[in-house]
């Protein structure tokens, strides 16, 4: 159930509704928009149906939510959510933001060299994995906390926000200490204990789509995070597994339009994982922006042939600069900025 408050609703009125909801055994989630504050109530449907929510002071409208992903849905919030990452970076507005950097953090000098290049080309967020979920247990697993420290230091030096993956609920607090955005990888999209844990913190979360996940499953995974209190969530389409073997994954551009239609949350496109081949990344990036995404995640490495992971899909800095020039034109065509 959604409670839409009047524009002049006071904080006391809001707290009164929340207190009443909690006494009824309901969970209350608040979303404060530019013009309206909305309260989403989650709990037994029979309680919601018999409680006269319309009579509470400050209430303008009560709307039942039909979608199972209640807090994520457009029914809960009509306007697009904008997620503030830093004072200079907000995801979901007119300006598109690009996350760029190596798949894995390999050392301070290496990351600094790449950060300098992507910053100059226009990236605003530095990506790099400190914990790496690999198919083989013998592959490079990441530098752990040492890598997180490097990511934070390099990001601060070049004025870049940072994003890195968290794989284990026990590491959430640690990763929050160093990164501006927590990434939930495709393999962990339905790691519900991890989703609950990142829902308890205030750090923004980027939720990647599982390799075989339906839209509904993806939306429901995001619901876990919001239901636990963290509304600063963005989706990331990174390609799904199909029968096609020519590319690493199949980048699903439909996902951008579907998510925008069903949810108020922003969506990022990752054409690096979506294609798996560096020569196809720019095409995927342009398609994502044309479809209406809110940003890109691109893998960049100055020596991809020596990269510890995902060298085949990593752009050289010169090619990343070219991609940024090309995508700016597409952004302008769809009334966005890059």
Q: Do both 35 and 95 map to the same domain?
A: no
Q: Is 279 exposed, middle or buried (0-12, 13-18, 19+ CB in 10 A)?
A: exposed
Residue 117 sits in the same domain as residue 158: yes
Position 163 scores a pLDDT of 98
In a domain, 74, yes or no: no
First to last CA, the chain: 37
Q: In this predicted structure, what is the pLDDT of residue 202?
A: 95
Assess whether 326 and 197 both reside in one domain. Answer: yes
Tell me if 239 sits within 8 A of 287, measured CB to CB. Answer: no
Q: What is the pLDDT of residue 63?
A: 80
Q: Give the pLDDT mean for 203-217.
A: 97
pLDDT exceeds 70 at position 92: yes
How far is 317 from 11, CA to CA, in rounded Å?
Answer: 50
Residue 49 has pLDDT above 70, yes or no: no
Residue 78 lies in a domain: no
**Residue 283 or residue 31, greater confidence:** 283
Indicate which CATH number applies to the domain containing 13. 3.30.70.1140
Residue that the structure tokens 């990142």 belong to? 198
- Assess whether 7 and 37 both reside in one domain: yes
Same domain, 176 and 226: yes
- In this structure, of 33-37, 245-249, 252-256, the range with the lowest mean pLDDT score is 33-37
Any domain includes 338: no
Identify the band that residue 32 occupies on the pLDDT scale cut at 50, 70 and 90: confident
Asked whether residue 73 is assigned to any structural domain, the reply reads: no
Residues 194 and 102 in one domain: yes
pLDDT of residue 246: 95
Q: Which residues contact 225 (CB under 8 A, 6 or more apart)?
A: 195, 196, 198, 199, 205, 207, 233
Structural domain count of the chain: 2
Q: What is the mean pLDDT of residues 242-247?
A: 95
**Structural domain boundaries, residue 162:** 83-333
Percent of the chain with pLDDT over 90: 74
125 in a structural domain:
yes
Note whether 230 and 296 are same-domain residues.
Answer: yes
Claim to verify: residue 129 and residue 34 sit in the same structural domain: no
Residue 182 main-chain phi, psi, to 5 deg:
-95, 130
Answer whether residue 174 shows pLDDT above 90.
yes
pLDDT over 80 (residue 135) = no
Q: Distance between CA 269 and CA 206 in Å, rounded? A: 11
The predicted structure's pLDDT at residue 284? 98
In sequence order, what are the residues at sequence separation of 6 or more whose Cβ sits closer than 8 angstroms to the Cβ of residue 23? none
Residue with the two structure tokens 């230091």: 153
Segment 252-277 shows an average pLDDT of 97
**Do residues 114 and 191 share a domain?**
yes
Are 118 and 200 members of one domain?
Answer: yes
Residue 270 domain-assigned? yes
Indicate the pLDDT class of residue 134, thresholds 50, 70 and 90.
low
Whether 18 and 114 share a structural domain: no
- Domain termination site, one of 35, 63, 91: 63
- Distance, in Å, from the CA atom of 181 to the CA atom of 80, rounded to the nearest integer, reads 19
Rounded to whole angstroms, how far apart are CA atoms 79 and 55? 25
Q: What is the CATH number of the domain that holds 220?
A: 3.20.20.70
Residue in the structure block whose two tokens are 């990331």 = 236
Model pLDDT for residues 271-329, shown as the tens digit of each residue:
999 999 999 999 999 999 999 999 999 999 999 999 888 899 999 999 999 999 999 99
In a domain, 77, yes or no: no
Q: Give 316's DSSP letter.
A: P
Same domain, 30 and 91: no
Mean pLDDT taken over the chain: 92
């Amino acid at each position: 159930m959604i409670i839409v408050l009047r524009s002049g609703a006071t904080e006391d009125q809001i707290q009164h509704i929340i207190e009443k909801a909690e006494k009824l055994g309901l969970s209350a989630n608040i979303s404060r928009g530019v013009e309206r504050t909305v309260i989403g109530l989650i709990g037994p449907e029979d309680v919601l149906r018999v409680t006269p929510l319309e009579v509470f002071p400050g209430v303008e409208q009560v709307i039942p939510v039909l979608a199972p992903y209640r807090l994520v849905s457009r029914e809960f919030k009509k306007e697009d959510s904008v997620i503030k990452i830093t004072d200079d970076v907000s995801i979901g507005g007119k300006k598109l933001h690009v996350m760029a950097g190596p798949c894995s953090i390999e050392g301070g000098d290496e990351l600094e060299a790449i950060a300098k290049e992507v910053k100059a080309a226009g990236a605003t967020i530095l990506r790099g994995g400190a914990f790496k979920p690999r198919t083989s247990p013998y592959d490079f697993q990441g530098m752990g906390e040492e890598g997180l420290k490097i990511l934070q230091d390099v990001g601060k030096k070049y004025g870049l926000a940072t994003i890195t993956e968290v794989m284990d609920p026990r590491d959430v607090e640690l990763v929050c200490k160093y990164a501006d955005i927590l990434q939930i990888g495709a393999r962990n999209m339905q790691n519900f204990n991890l989703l609950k844990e990142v829902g308890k913190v205030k750090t923004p979360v980027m939720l990647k789509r599982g390799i075989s996940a339906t839209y509904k499953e993806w939306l429901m995974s995001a619901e876990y995070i919001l239901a636990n209190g963290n509304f600063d969530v963005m989706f990331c389409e990174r390609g799904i597994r199909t029968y096609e073997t020519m590319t690493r994954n199949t980048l699903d551009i439909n996902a951008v339009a579907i998510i925008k239609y069903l949810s108020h949350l922003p969506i990022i496109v990752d054409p690096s994982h979506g294609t798996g081949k560096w020569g196809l990344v720019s095409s995927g990036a342009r398609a994502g922006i044309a479809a209406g995404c809110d940003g890109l995640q691109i893998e960049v490495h100055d020596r991809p042939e020596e990269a510890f992971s995902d060298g085949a899909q990593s752009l050289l800095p010169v090619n990343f600069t070219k991609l940024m020039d090309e995508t700016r034109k597409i952004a302008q065509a769809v009334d966005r900025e890059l």
